[in-house]
Structure 1
Amino acid sequence: MSTDTDAERSQAPDRSILQVVLKSPRPVKVLVAGVFLNRTGSFFSTFLVLFLRQLGFSLTQMPIVLLFVGAATPIGSLLGGWAADRFSRRIALVSSTLLASGGLAVIGLSPNRNTALVGVFLAALFAQAYLPAASALLVDNTRERDRVPTFAFFRLALNLGAALGPVIAVFIAPHGLKGLFLASACCYAVFAAVLWFGLRHPSAKPTDAEAGPAADQDRTGHTPLGLLAFFGAVLGITVVYVQYSSTVSLAVSAAHSASAYASLLTLNGVLVIIAEMPLSAWTRRLPWWVPMALGTAAMAIGIAMCGALHSYLLIALGVVVWSAGEMLFSPVVSSATAALSPADRIGRYQGYLATVQAVAFALGPAIGIFVYGRSTGALWAACLVVGVLACAGIAVAGRSAHRLAARSASASA
């Protein structure tokens, strides 16, 4: 049974979000700083289609190349998660970023189309492969009660880097697209160096007393149904969410203009950068399935509003709704995956999460455009239906987790 001291520690008030950030362990700060630097120069996915066009690929040939790129990304995520558990977080992070840097350098220095394609495949395979190891590193070095704001901190670095990247691209792009890929290669190489030297002496994991009772739970008893429901829900709502980059852009541009759509994306980016960290102060106190379900519902409703409505003000309201859903869902999903993971397979489970999301990002736009071309109303109704099913999946997974926590609590009493 727990001692009084342990009970007092477990009931200690949560640190503020600012304290969580400022008192983050060294590995967390190193990772966040490195990913910000890397993200500012991540031009691969943004300019890949333009580069393929420049290489001479026709509109009928390009989807085949993009299909291979889309297949390579989830494979890389699985490899990254496996390496994080099999070797170490540091080795997985550094090796994946160096391999991505090599692939991007091959693109930038390629003398012909075939060589460029080799680089494209390598970059697609490894450019996102560091994410499972990064998530596992955050879990390793964070108390359970601090995970949600820590992942929000990590996402803030990603989003700030993504916002700064286009500004840098404006100065490099006039000198040729290959220059962008060489810049990306340099950013990945710097990222690898920061990780290699900065993670040389990782800090000790938080103790069980610091982590609270949840750290003592046996996390190996989750049912296959609960895990399938969880990852199925993530797959479904991510397919809905990614419509913002495909069918929503078509709908908004048809009703207004491309610049109107661009301004809505800016609104989304500003809201997430400003509000996600403060919002995590609330979501961290809830069982993970509550903000995930709320976020899922808000994303489905917001995306459907943006596509189905014609008034610009109502579309902007839809962006606010989907942005709120994103802020509720995204910092929590990695923490939830960690809570569902066996202790020795955290990296693998983060790899499963990254793989599911990569598959959704690869297939979601194609599925959405296919349905959009036949019936726009059916697409937005389908988004709502998928949102309901995803909420149900999260409820099933949450119920499984709640039962497991109850059994663990009764067993330790």
Structure 2
Amino acid sequence: MKLASQSQLSSWLPSIHPQVWIFAIGRFFSEVGTGFTLFYAPIFFVNQLGLSATSVGVALGSASISGIFGRIGGGSLADSGRWGRRRTLLLATAISAIGSLVLAATNNFTTLIIGSLISGLGIGFYWPAAEAVVADASQIDNRRETFAIARLADNLGLAIGIVLAGFLIAIIGSYRWLFVIDAISFMVFFGVVYVGVSETEQQQTGESEKTEFFAAWLAVLSDRRFLVYIAVNIFFTIYISQIHSTLPLYFKNFVLVESAAKGFAETTISGLFAWHLVFAIICQLPVTSILKSYSHTLALTVSAILWAIGFGLIWVSGTAPSHQLVWVTLALGVFAVAIVSYTPSSASLVTELAPENQRGVYFSINALCWAVGSFIGHPLGGWALDQPQIITNTYWLGFILSVAIAVAILQYLNRILPE
């Protein structure tokens, strides 16, 4: 019996490179800080600073503009022999800490834009290098699990941060300290990377052995299979952007609690998103294990269908006469499974398509999908929340229709991947 349990544990937690565990610890601390601000920032800027939901959506979406430059530069720096993954991560965390401090001091739309642009630049530098570190330390037989461990650390940190933020707001009533704590968490992450993470890829230095900047980008942009994946990946990143910016404000201002003319309290919203992340944590390894035997495109198709179901439940929560909390709880649970179905397979697919010496650039373009998704999703969600209730509710049905397009693209990708 003991041997059977050990065998099951080893199948769920395969041999993971020690570098991944150290890096996951750093990501955990960073995401604790992110959890303090991720879901509360829209509520703070709209309900306390008095900015419109549209302007907040535009400001948060502006982070994608600087994020595009950050991702392009970050991917090239991560592959560079002079910089590499580690130095790029250190630069990213320092910039992100500055951005959080600017957001903590925000009093108007202009400062919000500046803080968002700085934060977006830091995030842009971060993701290509972060994904490349995990990819370098993974093997083909445990690649999905390796990425799942990194995402597990992210979600665990976010869940703890969200719960602590809810208590902090209830005690002191100030949202600004959330951004200060976020800045501190980035500096802790900086320390973990500086002390515990070494360069994961031996960078080539010879002119004949290294890929030049423009040649590397041209090579990636000529990879037809990767470009088709990028097209469908943008759909997923737009969906995820709705959870981060649109849904918190929707729950606060539009989903009316039974027998009351107001939305959910901040503590309830905190509990809902904590549930979303805790359920993602619980499902991460089992879902990854189940989907491991299937193709990446099938795993992504499962995720797309779950997104459609989740958006349908959100629509019900805004239109049903009762039991709104039940519908919202179910929706966030479905979204959790959709995300854990998506992230390991998505990152693993990029790793398999990318040559080892170009992983930074491939993950740079992959990360650009998140910038594009935020650039589209945040302002779109803000616009929808500024419309009459009937349009706001119908907004979620549009996402259900978009899933059909995403699934069609995935089926085409499945046909051309063997090429």
TM normalised by structure 2 equals 0.75
Matches within 5 A, 1:328-367: 328-367=341-380
Q: Give 2:295's match in structure 1, choosing from 244, 262, 287.
A: 287
Q: Give 1:35's match in structure 2, choosing from 21, 27, 34.
A: 27
What corresponds to 1:306 in structure 2?
314
Check 1:315–1:63 CA distance in 2 against 1; reply closer, same or farther (3 A cut). Answer: closer
Q: Deviations over 1:277-306 (max 9, x none)?
A: 122112222221111111111111221233
Give the whole-Å Cα distance in 2 for the aligned partners of 1:221 and 1:71: 21
Q: CA RMSD in A?
A: 3.8
Contact 1:243 1:303 in 2 (8 A): no
In structure 2, the gaps of 5 or more residues are 1-6, 204-218
Give the whole-Å Cα distance in 2 for the aligned partners of 1:246 and 1:61: 13
Q: Give 1:297's match in structure 2, choosing from 302, 305, 308.
A: 305
Give the C-alpha shift of residue 188 in structure 1. Answer: 1.5
Contact 1:148 1:283 in 2 (8 A): no
**Counterpart check, 1:143 vs 2:125:** no
Q: Which amino acid aligns with 1:253?
A: V
Matches within 5 A, 1:332-411: 332-368=345-381, 370=383, 373=388, 375=391, 378-402=394-418, 404=419
Give the whole-Å Cα distance in 2 for the aligned partners of 1:302 and 1:359: 22
What corresponds to 1:214 in structure 2?
none
Contact 1:84 1:347 in 2 (8 A): yes
Give the whole-Å Cα distance in 1 for the aligned partners of 2:48 and 2:398: 37
3-state DSSP of counterpart to 2:16: coil
Give the whole-Å Cα distance in 2 for the aligned partners of 1:353 and 1:74: 11
What corresponds to 2:255 in structure 1?
253
Farther-moved stretch of structure 1 (227-236 vs 385-394): 227-236
Give the C-alpha shift of residue 379 in structure 1. Answer: 3.4
Check 1:228–1:188 CA distance in 2 against 1; reply closer, same or farther (3 A cut). Answer: same
Give the C-alpha shift of residue 146 in structure 1. Answer: 0.9
Contact 2:96 2:119 in 1 (8 A): yes
Give the whole-Å Cα distance in 1 for the aligned partners of 2:126 and 2:196: 16
Contact 1:104 1:185 in 2 (8 A): yes
What corresponds to 1:226 in structure 2?
225
What corresponds to 2:212 in structure 1?
none
Give the C-alpha shift of residue 158 in structure 1. Answer: 0.7
Farther-moved stretch of structure 1 (357-366 vs 174-183): 174-183
What corresponds to 2:98 in structure 1?
102
Q: Deviations over 1:113-165 (max 9, x none)?
A: 98886555323320453122111111111102211111111111111111111
**Counterpart check, 1:236 vs 2:242:** no
Q: Which amino acid aligns with 1:191?
A: F
3-state DSSP of counterpart to 1:148: helix
**Counterpart check, 1:189 vs 2:187:** yes
Give the C-alpha shift of residue 197 in structure 1. Answer: 1.9
Give the whole-Å Cα distance in 1 for the aligned partners of 2:104 and 2:274: 30
What corresponds to 1:26 in structure 2?
18
Farther-moved stretch of structure 1 (290-299 vs 107-116): 107-116
Matches within 5 A, 1:314-333: 316-333=329-346
What corresponds to 2:213 in structure 1?
none
Check 1:222–1:251 CA distance in 2 against 1; reply closer, same or farther (3 A cut). Answer: same
Contact 2:303 2:341 in 1 (8 A): yes
Give the whole-Å Cα distance in 2 for the aligned partners of 1:53 and 1:316: 24
Give the whole-Å Cα distance in 2 for the aligned partners of 1:322 and 1:167: 19
Contact 2:62 2:375 in 1 (8 A): no
3-state DSSP of counterpart to 2:183: helix
Contact 1:78 1:348 in 2 (8 A): yes
Contact 2:103 2:112 in 1 (8 A): yes
What corresponds to 2:214 in structure 1?
none
Matches within 5 A, 1:145-184: 145-169=141-165, 170-171=167-168, 174=172, 177-184=175-182
**Counterpart check, 1:272 vs 2:317:** no
Give the whole-Å Cα distance in 1 for the aligned partners of 2:112 and 2:400: 41
Check 1:57–1:320 CA distance in 2 against 1; reply closer, same or farther (3 A cut). Answer: closer
Give the whole-Å Cα distance in 2 for the aligned partners of 1:197 and 1:238: 32
3-state DSSP of counterpart to 2:294: coil
Contact 1:237 1:300 in 2 (8 A): no
What corresponds to 2:130 in structure 1?
134
Matches within 5 A, 1:38-117: 38-42=30-34, 43-46=36-39, 48-49=41-42, 58-59=51-52, 62=56, 65-86=59-80, 87-105=83-101
Give the C-alpha shift of residue 67 in structure 1. Answer: 4.3
Q: Which amino acid aligns with 1:331?
A: P
Q: Which amino acid aligns with 1:379?
A: Y
Give the whole-Å Cα distance in 2 for the aligned partners of 1:175 and 1:302: 31
Give the whole-Å Cα distance in 2 for the aligned partners of 1:365 and 1:113: 15
Check 1:134–1:364 CA distance in 2 against 1; reply closer, same or farther (3 A cut). Answer: same
Give the C-alpha shift of residue 102 in structure 1. Answer: 3.4
Give the C-alpha shift of residue 110 in structure 1. Answer: 9.2
**Aligned positions, number:** 375
Farther-moved stretch of structure 1 (81-90 vs 367-376): 367-376
Give the whole-Å Cα distance in 1 for the aligned partners of 2:400 and 2:108: 46
